[in-house]
Amino acid sequence: MTCATCSDAIAQAFVEANVYRLLVPEEFGGEGIDPVTYYDLAEEVSSYDGSVGWNYAIGATGGVVAGGLPAQQMRDILGSPDCGVAGGGAPVGRAVAQEGGYRLTGRWGWASGIHHAKWAIAYCPVYDGERPRLSAEGVPIVLGFITPKQACTVLDTWHVGGMRATGSTEFELHDVFVPQEMVLRLLSGESRLPHPIFRMPASFFGFNHCCVLTGIARHAIAGLRTLAETKTSPMAGISLREDVGGQYAVAKAQALVESSGLNVRDSFRMLWEKVVAGEAVPLEMKARVRRACAHATECAVEAVDLCYRAACGSAVFESAPFERALRDVHAAASRITLRQTMMEEAGRVAFGLRPRSPLF
Q: What is the domain-level CATH number for residue 255?
A: 1.20.140.10
Do 286 and 147 sit in the same domain of this protein? no
Do 167 and 249 sit in the same domain of this protein? no
Task: Give the predicted TM-score (pTM) of the model.
Answer: 0.95
- pLDDT score for 189: 63
Q: Examine residue 261 and state whether it is found in any structural domain, yes or no.
A: yes
Q: Examine residue 190 and state whether it is found in any structural domain, yes or no.
A: no
- How confident is the model over 24-37, as a mean pLDDT? 96
Confidence of residue 45 (pLDDT cuts 50, 70, 90): very high
CA–CA gap between residue 122 and residue 287 (Å, rounded): 26
Last residue of a domain, one of 185, 213, 239: 185
CA–CA gap between residue 13 and residue 335 (Å, rounded): 26
Do 175 and 221 sit in the same domain of this protein? no
Report which secondary-structure segment, H or E, holds 307.
Answer: helix 283-310
Do 210 and 123 sit in the same domain of this protein? no
Least confident of 11-15, 163-167, 179-183, 354-358: 354-358
Do 306 and 228 sit in the same domain of this protein? yes
- Asked if 86 and 119 touch (Cβ cutoff 8 Å), the reply is yes
- Asked if 114 and 152 touch (Cβ cutoff 8 Å), the reply is yes
Number of domains in the chain: 2
> 50 pLDDT exceeds 90?
yes
Do 211 and 169 sit in the same domain of this protein? no
CA–CA gap between residue 203 and residue 334 (Å, rounded): 17
CA–CA gap between residue 333 and residue 339 (Å, rounded): 6
- Asked if 121 and 146 touch (Cβ cutoff 8 Å), the reply is yes
Do 151 and 48 sit in the same domain of this protein? yes
User: Which residues sit opposite 132 in a β-bridge?
Assistant: 127
Do 248 and 294 sit in the same domain of this protein? yes
Q: Examine residue 137 and state whether it is found in any structural domain, yes or no.
A: yes
- pLDDT score for 191: 76
Do 329 and 208 sit in the same domain of this protein? yes
Last residue of a domain, one of 150, 185, 220: 185
In terms of pLDDT, which residue wins out, 342 or 88?
342
The Cα-based distances of 221 to 120, 244, 312 in angstroms read 36, 16, 14
- pLDDT score for 188: 61
- pLDDT score for 357: 86
- Asked if 88 and 95 touch (Cβ cutoff 8 Å), the reply is no
Cβ–Cβ contacts within 10 Å for residue 318, how many?
8
CA–CA gap between residue 285 and residue 207 (Å, rounded): 13
- For residue 316, the enclosing domain spans 200-350
- E-assigned strand segments in 118-189: 119-128, 131-132, 142-148, 153-154, 169-179, 183-185
